[in-house]
Amino acid sequence: MFGLLRALFFGAFALLFLIPVAILLAVIGLPIIAVLGALALPVLLVLFLVGLPFLIIFAVVAGLLGAVFGVLMAFLSVGVVAIKIAIVVLVPLLILGWILKRLFAPTDSWRVGA
């Protein structure tokens, strides 16, 4: 309990020093960021004009791949559902047929394994 109180006390005490430091860094740093951003605008414009066609091509290819993948997964999921239904229906029929064959089939001494 005393450890928690000590952590809260020193955390609040540290904030007394960190808040003015943060304000000072914001006052000094924001104009520097604004100047660097203004200097970077021509570079960003060139990168945008050169990179935009590549971005469009990449977006179209990604969209086509996503559509193809989605259609393939839809067909695969339909196939999996069909297989599950077939197993749920056919396995009990197989077991029922085997049981009925064992019950009602005539015994034949000429069969192998009889």
Tokens of 103: 């019950």
Is 106 a residue whose pLDDT tops 80? no
pLDDT the model gives residue 96: 93
* Residues 6+ away with beta carbon under 8 Å from 114: 107, 108
pLDDT tens, position by position, 16-61 = 888 888 888 888 888 888 898 899 898 888 888 888 888 889 999 9
CA-to-CA dists, residue 75 to 27, 71, 79, 80, 88, angstroms: 59, 6, 6, 9, 20
